[in-house]
Structure 1
Amino acid sequence: MNIVFDFGGVVFRWHPASFLARVWPHRVADLEQGATVAEQFFENYGGDWGAFDQGLIDADTVIQRIAARTGWPEAEVAQVLAAVPDELQLQSDTAALITELKQAGHRLFYLSNMPEPYADHLEQAHPLREWFEAGVFSGRVKHSKPRTEIFKIASERFGLAPEACAFLDDHPANIEAAHALGWQALLFTTAAQARQDLSALMR
């Protein structure tokens, strides 16, 4: 089987509400408030952050835009961006699943919405080339999920027809977009659930 992993929230930790509670304790008192602030900051990965995800603007520009839009000081916005690499911790249960799937002979790939500075960090911090045959980062191809273009780019880069790919992602909109293009897409909640869902596909 050809299995394509999303990164944030699947392979690497990404939980904006708790992340912002740690980085901005003076602004975020609890997870509920963290979720509200995350909506303002990341705009559901559209707007300013979406442009950063797609590599259309750099880190300095997204800091300026978020500060101008929200009124938060640029230094505080920059603090959040600087803290993202530490947030992207490898999730041990998913790492175990990756090892298990590779040992079973499955082909593994990745398709991630990831600004280029964080893509660089992940490549330097983890043996991505050992885990995956190939991958696509949004910041490098100037397109992001759930848009059609990035799925087409991934399919071409992997040399696979969409229906030959099992895609794991934690965002329903990305799953819906992948399904519409013929991918076998599975909503990721936990590595244990993903293992069960993939086993069902293999039957």
Structure 2
Amino acid sequence: MKVLMVDVDGVLIHGRPTDGLPLFTYLERDLGLLQQEFFQTCWGDIIIGREPLEPGLAKVLAKIAPHLSAATLIDYWFENDRRLDLNLLEELAAIRQSGISLFLATNQEHRRARYLMEEVGLGAHFDGILYSAALGHRKPSPEFFRLGTERAGVLPGEIAFIDDMAENIEAARQFGWNAAQWTAGARLHETLSAFSHPGRAI
């Protein structure tokens, strides 16, 4: 293993900083149409970089919550969807110190990807971020894994990958990555041990 790819939401980040509940636990109750009007209609183009985040969100909010600006909701969103798994982050630091490159491999739009790296500070812990809006494809598309491999500069079999979604794990394996599904409370070394070979250290 030369490179370890790590998913963000559901692996490294779990909901709100205060209690770990999903970001829209109460917002969806108050803005019941947000899922239907925004995520089910606009999000598909935003997450692969075809459309920017704010204009589409502003248009939807003007319809379902005119008192709320897109900028305010984006700030709320990002601030309340950043609870880091500090134990995992510590384990990842040890992996990186051993000489293995770390990349985030995630479905994100441009603004949150930048926020994660700069404001949350993940740029100090990872060698880079491979994300759907920049690649033009989202997991589990084979193109996501092809482009991710190309940008990592290694062979598919030299990449390990952890993600919480079974469909992403299967797609990664089909492309030749060593992939394992992450579950809450898991330990990184135990998860990666599935990729080790006799005589070769993880």
Taking structure 1 as the reference length, what is the TM-score of the superposition?
Answer: 0.78
Number of the residue aligned with 1:4: 5
Tell me, in whole angstroms, the C-alpha distance in 2 between the residues paired with 1:18 and 1:127. Answer: 21
Number of the residue aligned with 1:32: none
Tell me, in whole angstroms, the C-alpha distance in 2 between the residues paired with 1:39 and 1:194. Answer: 36
1:89 deviation in Å? 2.7
Number of the residue aligned with 1:201: 195
1:169 deviation in Å? 0.9
Taking structure 2 as the reference length, what is the TM-score of the superposition?
Answer: 0.78
Kindly tell me: are residues 202 and 51 of structure 1, through their superposed partners in 2, closer, same or farther at Cα, counting changes over 3 Å? same
Correspondent of 2:133 among 139, 148, 153: 139
Correspondent of 1:82 among 66, 75, 86: 75
Structure ranking higher in helix proportion: 1
Q: Deviations over 1:90-115 (max 9, x none)?
A: 22122112112123333212211111
SS at match of 2:42: helix
Correspondent of 1:192 among 173, 182, 186: 186
The answer to whether the 8 A contact 2:88-2:187 is kept is: no
Kindly tell me: are residues 75 and 199 of structure 1, through their superposed partners in 2, closer, same or farther at Cα, counting changes over 3 Å? farther
The answer to whether the 8 A contact 2:88-2:188 is kept is: no
Q: Deviations over 1:25-81 (max 9, x none)?
A: 5357xxxxxxx97577534xxx4212111111112333156559xx63255583543
Identity of aligned residues (%): 25
Find out whether 1:56 has 2:60 as its counterpart.
Answer: no
5+ residue gaps, structure 1: 29-35
Tell me, in whole angstroms, the C-alpha distance in 1 between the residues paired with 2:94 and 2:35. Answer: 34
SS at match of 1:135: strand
Question: Which residue identity lines up with residue 8 of structure 1 in the other structure?
Answer: D
1:126 deviation in Å? 4.1
Q: Count how many residue pairs are aligned between Structure 1 and Structure 2.
A: 191
SS at match of 2:13: coil
SS at match of 1:157: helix
Tell me, in whole angstroms, the C-alpha distance in 1 between the residues paired with 2:111 and 2:84. Answer: 17
